[in-house]
Amino acid sequence: MSPLVKIKNLSYTYHTPKGETKTLENINLEINKGEFVSIVGPSGCGKSTLLSLISGLLQPSIGEVFLDKSLIINDSHYIGYMLQKDHLFEWRTVYKNVLLGLEINNKICKESLQYIDDLLKKYGLYDFKNYKPSQLSGGMRQKAALIRTLALQPEILLLDEPFAALDYQTRLSAGDEIGTILKKENKTALLVTHDIADAIFHKKLLNQLFHTSKYKQMITILLLHLIIGTKS
C-alpha cells in the first residue's frame, strides 16, 4: 500500500527583510490511509509550517510533499484544517456553522445535507443544531468544528493544537471523542501539538523518534504513530 502522504527530504526556510529562518531541515515522513499521526515539539520548532507545506499553502525550499502519489503544488487537494480556535460564528446557529464549508464550496446537495445530519445525530449535536455556539460547551464546539470540516469529506485532516484552548478535563473528553469520531469515519489525521500529553493520550505505537534542525539544538520532535483501525 502506498502512503497517503509522503514527505521526502523536506526543508523550509522563511525569507524576510530581517533575514532567513531555517525552520525545517530534511524531514522524511509517511502517513498511511487511516492513520492518526501526532507530532510533538516545542513552540517555534516548525509544526505549523509543516502543516502549511502539506496543505500546499507553502512550497518546500527543498524536497517534495506528495498526497496520494501526486505532488502538492497548490491547494487542489481537499485538506481539512482544525485549529486551536473553533472559529464558529456566533451570529449563525450550530447547524448554519456546520454548513458553512459546503456553502462556500458550493457543495450543498441532498447527499451532503444527509451526511451532516448523520454526523450531528451520531455525535450528539443534533438536538443542539438550532443553538448558538455560545450555548455549547468547549468540547461540543470543537465537535461542531470537526463536523464542519468532515462535511467536505477531506482526504486528510490537519489538526493544529485543536485542544489547546480547552480546560484539562474537557481536553481529555474532547480528545477522546474526536479520536473516536475520526476512527469511526475512517479518516487520516495529522495532529501537531507542543503538549506530549495530547499526543500520548491515545497511546498506541511509538513509531519513530527524530531530531531536527541543527539551528534549534536540543529540539526533539517526537513522532508517534497513533494507528487507527485494524492496526491499533
Q: Which residues pair with 12 in a beta bridge?
A: 24
| Most distant pair of Cα atoms in the chain: their distance | 53
Regarding 194 and contact with ligand ATP (CB under 6 A), the answer is yes
41: contact with ligand ATP by CB under 6 A: yes
Cβ proximity to ligand ATP: between 152 and 219 the closer is 219
Nearer to ligand ATP, 11 or 232 (CB): 11
**C-beta of 188 vs 193, nearer to ligand ATP:** 193
**Interface with ligand ATP, residue 196, by CB under 6 A:** no
Q: Which is nearer to ligand ATP, 46 or 179 (CB)?
A: 46
Q: Helix (H, G, I), strand (E, B), or coil: what is residue 111?
A: helix
Closer residue to ligand ATP (CB): 43 or 70:
43
Distances (CA, A) of 219 to 18, 160, 189, 196, 212: 23, 19, 23, 14, 7
| Cα distance between residue 161 and residue 136, in whole Å | 20
Backbone angles phi, psi at 182, to 5 degrees: -65, -40
Cell numbers representing residue 92 in the block: 449563525
Instruction: Determine which residue in the list 13, 21, 61, 220 makes contact with ligand ATP, applying CB under 6 A.
Output: 21
Please, what is the minimum distance in Å from the beta carbon of residue 124 to ligand ATP? 30
Decide the pairing of beta strands 189-193 and 35-40.
Answer: parallel
Tell me which of 1, 17, 43, 127 binds ligand ATP, using CB under 6 A.
Answer: 43
Per DSSP, 92 falls in state: S
Q: Which residue has the cell 517555534?
A: 44
Residue 144 near residue 136, CB atoms below 8 Å: yes
The pairing of strands 220-227 and 205-211 is antiparallel
Q: Is 6 in the site for ligand ATP (CB under 6 A)?
A: no
The binder of ligand ATP chosen from 38, 48, 97, 213 (CB under 6 A): 48
What are the helix (H) ranges across 128-211?
138-150, 168-184, 196-200
Applying CB under 6 A, which part among 36-44, 75-83, 88-96, 177-185 lies near ligand ATP? Answer: 36-44
Q: How far is the CB of 105 from ligand ATP (least distance, A)?
A: 26
Task: Please pick, from the candidates 3, 14, 132, 177, the single residue that binds ligand ATP as defined by CB under 6 A.
Answer: 14
Residue 131 makes contact with ligand ATP by CB under 6 A: no
For position 230 contacting ligand ATP by CB under 6 A, the verdict is no
Number of residues that bind ligand ATP (CB under 6 A): 13
d(CA 57, CA 72): 10
Contact residues for ligand ATP, defined by CB under 6 A? 14, 16, 21, 23, 41, 43-49, 194
